[in-house]
Structure 1
Amino acid sequence: MYVPPAFREDDPVELRHIMRAARLSTLVTATADGLMATPLPLFLDESEGEHGVLHGHLARANPQWALPVHGEALVVFSGPDAYVTPSWYPAKREHGKVVPTWNYVAVHAYGRPEFFDDATRLLEVVTRLTNLHEQPRAEPWSVTDAPEAFIKAQLKGIVGLRLPITRIDGKRKMSQNRNADDRDGVAEGLLASDAASDHAVSRLIPRHR
């Protein structure tokens, strides 16, 4: 990922926050059959390794896990994003030398994926993923709510993924390359939008007032 210095995000705490907030990521691998990509919910265990380890699972019928991976795999996490119109820049009224752009947050995590089908490990991964996303609910569903034999049968249809992260690229492109007045104009313009995602981007733009 191309990351100009003004947009680089290196803070480990922020990187982990972006990865967790993304909820759904994309696993990309290079194989003899070409590039393969699968959208996946993953969880990050930061207690393992320098950058943490990603855990999740794929459908057993998905050929991505069975094909040898050339080099590292890439996991893409996308955060809030929004279109930025030049009309929000005071600079447009001053000289007109402005163009549209896009503000966004992204993290690219790299590592060599490990696939497994051990039933005990699979159950742990499924349980942790379920608990993570059920926790906010008033009445969380638990894996143990389903019959044990049913869960065992379901586990046979998936393959586990463990990906120790070897390096991370983080990017937070939030109009940092514009002057303070232009940044305020973008933030206010996004805040006036009807889209909740635009409001999320507005809150991330550095303001001077």
Structure 2
Amino acid sequence: MYLRAVHAESSIKSILNFIQTNPLGVLTTAIPSSTYPFLQSSHIPWVLDISDDPGAAAISNLDSPTQRLEHDVMVLFTGPHHHYVTSKFYTETKPATAKVVPTWNYAAVQVYGKATIYFDSSKPETSSFLSQQLRDLSGQCESSIMGYTGQDGNPEPWSVSDAPERYIEIMKKNIIGIDISIESIGGKFKMSQEMGIGDRKGVIEGFSNLGTDTGLHIAEMVKERGEMKDQSK
């Protein structure tokens, strides 16, 4: 991922929070195989262990039985709101010189690391890992995404124990678990920071006037990231 300094996120806390808020990541692997493409990408929800920064997920669509992958893997997380930016939003530069082009605003985090694969649920270590991932992943999604906390009138969250134990054991036979030890991580918030104050105001107004949830979110992010840039000078 190309990172211009003006778009790069330097706060690890902010990057990790982004992953927790947007847990569906695209895992890219490079696995030699005579039957499958060398490069594959899979959409997988992840659980982040803040203590030592690994990601972990339970999935069922990788096809290699390797315990430890030889090559690094990459996971790309993207924010839910992104949008095309028309040059017409640049209300300062476009009328003055017309030297502007359209672009796209978005936020993303990219993770590189070594992956360990857990694929045989008959082994105690794998069974334990998969059980923990099922509990952690469902707990995270039920509470943070669905808002099911069982408190303040909110519904009780679904838990693994709600399903028959035998059923879960059968399901675990069709699940592959992945644990990634993170070796490098980078965050990018491309929200018109490269533009001057006048053009950013035009972008904020333009997106606000769209009247959509995405437009309002992008407008707020452009405002927030622009202020951060100005304060860092």
Report the TM-score, using the length of structure 1 for normalisation: 0.91
Look up the SS of the partner of 2:6 in the other structure: helix
Matches within 5 A, 1:1-209: 1-32=1-32, 33-48=37-52, 52-59=53-60, 62-64=62-64, 66=66, 69-79=69-79, 80-90=81-91, 91-117=93-119, 118-135=126-143, 136-137=147-148, 138-139=154-155, 140-206=157-223, 207=226
Instruction: Tell me the amino acid that sits aligned with residue 56 of structure 1.
Output: A
Deviation at 1:203, TM superposition (A): 1.1
Q: Hey, which of these two has a bigger chunk of strand by percent? A: 1
Cα gap change, 1:111 to 1:150, in 2 (>3 Å): same
Look up the SS of the partner of 1:92 in the other structure: helix
Number of residue pairs the alignment of both structures matches: 204
How far apart, CA to CA, are the structure 1 residues paired with 2:98 and 2:27? Answer: 41
Deviation at 1:67, TM superposition (A): 9.2
Deviation at 1:75, TM superposition (A): 0.4
Deviation at 1:68, TM superposition (A): 7.2
Instruction: Tell me the amino acid that sits aligned with residue 62 of structure 1.
Output: L
Instruction: Tell me the amino acid that sits aligned with residue 107 of structure 2.
Output: V
Q: Which residue of 1 aligns with 2:151?
A: none
Gaps in structure 1 of 5+ consecutive residues: none
How far apart, CA to CA, are the structure 1 residues paired with 2:88 and 2:107? Answer: 22
Is the 1:78–1:105 Cα contact (8 Å) retained in structure 2? yes
Cα gap change, 1:204 to 1:15, in 2 (>3 Å): same
Q: RMSD of aligned C-alpha atoms?
A: 1.8
Look up the SS of the partner of 1:201 in the other structure: helix
How far apart, CA to CA, are the structure 2 residues paired with 1:195 and 1:170? Answer: 25
Is the 2:69–2:117 Cα contact (8 Å) retained in structure 1? no
Is the 2:109–2:185 Cα contact (8 Å) retained in structure 1? yes
After TM superposition, which residue ranges in structure 1, 4 or more long, deviate above 6 angstroms?
Answer: none
Deviation at 1:18, TM superposition (A): 1.4
Structure 1 residues 32-41 or 198-207, which shifts more?
198-207
How far apart, CA to CA, are the structure 1 residues paired with 2:164 and 2:180? Answer: 30
How far apart, CA to CA, are the structure 1 residues paired with 2:104 and 2:161? Answer: 44
Is the 2:65–2:117 Cα contact (8 Å) retained in structure 1? yes
Instruction: Tell me the amino acid that sits aligned with residue 127 of structure 1.
Output: R
Deviation at 1:145, TM superposition (A): 0.7
Cα gap change, 1:64 to 1:175, in 2 (>3 Å): farther
Report the TM-score, using the length of structure 2 for normalisation: 0.82
Task: Give per-residue Cα distances to partners, 1:26-83, cap 9 Å, x unaligned.
Answer: 11011224211110000111102xxx01010121x53156497452100000113111
